[in-house]
């Protein structure tokens, strides 16, 4: 039986000193073991960076497209992820291993990735990891993984098939990120910076007419200049009219507290519905006894899958205790839909009245809630404090127009996410059958 080490060598990462690492995200990202989550690609939703000067001295630890990385220590030991194509160079930290294909390796990096990311490989890595305080695995032990006896031509076809599924998953993920950024940008302009309101106020203050003030708001909302708006009116009068209606819905000034006139300074509890009473926690043993396909949500993510649902709609989840705050002070939130079971460590919410669930989510994603979290050791965002968070509620018509703009974006986000779940299921079911020879290509 061949060994993984017959075809690849495991390179360890660089031991960066803590004083060299920064949270400001202005340098070169450093991939740590926590970024290797077992997903198809490295998770850089949270990372530290080092200076470009240090990068020049540690270039031998810089990643390349499609590099395969493995966590060699800690809770993620044995998990693997790849570096996305067309990504900037990253640096790998100590206890992050990189698989380097030997010159005479007949297998593609795609096939190697699916071997080391298989369930059998992870079980091996977890079993052989040692260490009392936290599990560790050496490069030599990783290289001792038994390698499947598959002809290289067949194996490389397998790699191509599985890679095509991962490529589609990555594309869907990137599209969703773009759609969510668009929604967040619109939300910030309308409800935080009040750009359309200020555009109207400035136009009127400079002696322009009410019609010109509305056009100024239209320019801010659409990103078009006056000439482009006139062209739009000629080419697509229906779209121009829709834009006019949106701009006209905004007030033309703010009150003495800086709130747009006609809008209300209220609280989060007055614009949301809370369904916490419907939550039911299940112990690990209970979840094992009720194993199924329904996601079981905790404070930050899906923890398990069970055989029944207690929710079946679109909801916003906000972490209640344990993992509550991100580094920037915003809460851990999850946007969920369909059948679900939720435990008692996360609040379950929907929008109320003209405020949609998606608007609530965008609000929370941009709100620092540090002042509303209690507990030094075990942080908690209780329902009372959450409900007291200030919320500027726009007039119903503005909220309705906002939802009209973003509802199709989030419908696409949900469709892409559902497709990704299906593709992951196909990939994970196909992988062991291809590696064992049960399915031949």
Percent of the chain with pLDDT over 70: 100
* pLDDT of 327 above 90: no
Among 182, 232, 166, residue whose Cα is nearest residue 424: 166
Residue 310 domain-assigned? yes
- CATH (domain of 295): 3.90.220.20
Q: Which domain holds residue 324?
A: 267-393
pLDDT at 434: 87
Judge contact between 385 and 372, C-beta under 8 A.
yes
**CA–CA gap between residue 336 and residue 259 (Å, rounded):** 31
**CA–CA gap between residue 144 and residue 10 (Å, rounded):** 11
351: left (phi over 0), alpha (psi -120 to 50) or beta: beta
In which band, very low, low, confident or very high, does the pLDDT at 274 lie, cut at 50, 70 and 90? very high
Residue 413 domain-assigned? no
Residue 240 domain-assigned? no
Residue 399 domain-assigned? no
pLDDT at 1: 74
Residue 274 domain-assigned? yes
* pLDDT of 132 above 70: no
**CA–CA gap between residue 398 and residue 355 (Å, rounded):** 10
pLDDT at 191: 98
**CA–CA gap between residue 406 and residue 351 (Å, rounded):** 14
Q: Are 6 and 143 in the same domain?
A: yes
**CA–CA gap between residue 441 and residue 152 (Å, rounded):** 12
Residue 11 domain-assigned? yes
Residue 230 domain-assigned? no
Q: pLDDT tens-digit profile of 223-267?
A: 999 899 999 999 999 999 999 999 999 999 999 999 999 999 999
Q: Global pTM?
A: 0.87
In which band, very low, low, confident or very high, does the pLDDT at 194 lie, cut at 50, 70 and 90? very high
Q: Are 140 and 277 in the same domain?
A: no
Q: pLDDT tens-digit profile of 312-326?
A: 999 999 999 988 998
* pLDDT of 204 above 90: yes
Last residue of a domain, one of 116, 148, 180: 148
* pLDDT of 425 above 80: yes
Q: How many domains does the chain have?
A: 2
> What's the rounded mean pLDDT across residues 287-293?
95
Residue 154 domain-assigned? no
Q: pLDDT tens-digit profile of 374-417?
A: 987 889 999 999 999 999 999 999 999 999 999 999 999 999 99
Last residue of a domain, one of 393, 412, 435: 393
**CA–CA gap between residue 70 and residue 124 (Å, rounded):** 13
Last residue of a domain, one of 393, 412, 427: 393
């Amino acid at each position: 039986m061949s060994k993984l080490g017959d075809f690849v060598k495991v390179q360890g990462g660089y031991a960066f000193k803590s004083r060299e690492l920064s949270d400001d995200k202005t340098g070169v990202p450093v991939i740590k073991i926590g970024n290797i989550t077992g997903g198809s690609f490295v998770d850089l939703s949270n990372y530290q960076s080092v200076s470009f000067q240090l990068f020049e001295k540690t270039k031998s630890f810089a990643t390349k497209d499609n590099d395969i990385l493995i966590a060699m220590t800690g809770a993620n030991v044995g998990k693997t992820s790849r570096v996305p194509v067309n990504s900037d160079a990253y640096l790998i930290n100590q206890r992050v291993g990189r698989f380097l294909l030997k010159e005479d390796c007949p297998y593609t990096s795609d096939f190697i990735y699916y071997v080391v990311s298989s369930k059998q490989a992870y079980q091996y890595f977890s079993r052989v990891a040692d260490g009392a305080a936290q599990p560790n695995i050496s490069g030599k032990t990783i290289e001792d993984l038994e390698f499947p006896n598959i002809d290289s031509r067949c194996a490389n076809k397998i790699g191509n098939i599985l890679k095509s599924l991962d490529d589609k998953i990555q594309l869907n993920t990137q599209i969703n990120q773009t759609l969510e950024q668009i929604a967040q940008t619109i939300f910030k302009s309308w409800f935080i910076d009040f750009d359309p309101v200020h555009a109207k106020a400035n136009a009127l203050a400079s002696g322009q007419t009410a019609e010109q003030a509305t056009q100024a708001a239209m320019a801010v909302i659409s990103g078009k200049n006056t000439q482009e708006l006139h062209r739009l009116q000629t080419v697509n009068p229906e779209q121009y009219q829709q834009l006019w209606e949106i701009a006209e819905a905004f007030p033309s000034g703010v009150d003495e507290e800086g709130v747009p006139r006609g809008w209300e300074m209220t609280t989060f509890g007055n614009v949301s519905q809370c369904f916490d009473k419907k939550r039911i926690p299940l112990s690990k043993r209970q979840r094992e006894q009720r194993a199924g396909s329904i996601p079981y949500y905790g404070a930050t993510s899906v923890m398990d899958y069970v055989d029944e649902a207690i929710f079946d709609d679109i909801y916003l989840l906000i972490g209640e205790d344990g993992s509550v705050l991100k580094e920037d002070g915003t809460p851990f939130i999850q946007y969920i839909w369909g059948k679900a079971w939720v435990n008692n460590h996360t609040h379950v919410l929907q929008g109320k009245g003209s405020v949609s669930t998606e608007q609530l989510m965008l609000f929370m994603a941009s709100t620092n809630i540090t002042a509303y979290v209690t507990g030094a050791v075990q942080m908690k965002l209780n329902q009372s404090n959450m409900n007291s968070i200030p919320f500027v509620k726009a007039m119903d018509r503005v909220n309705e127009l906002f939802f009209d703009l973003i509802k199709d974006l989030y419908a696409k986000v949900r469709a892409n996410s559902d497709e990704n779940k299906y593709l992951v299921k196909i990939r994970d079911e196909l992988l062991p059958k291809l590696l064992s020879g049960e399915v031949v290509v």
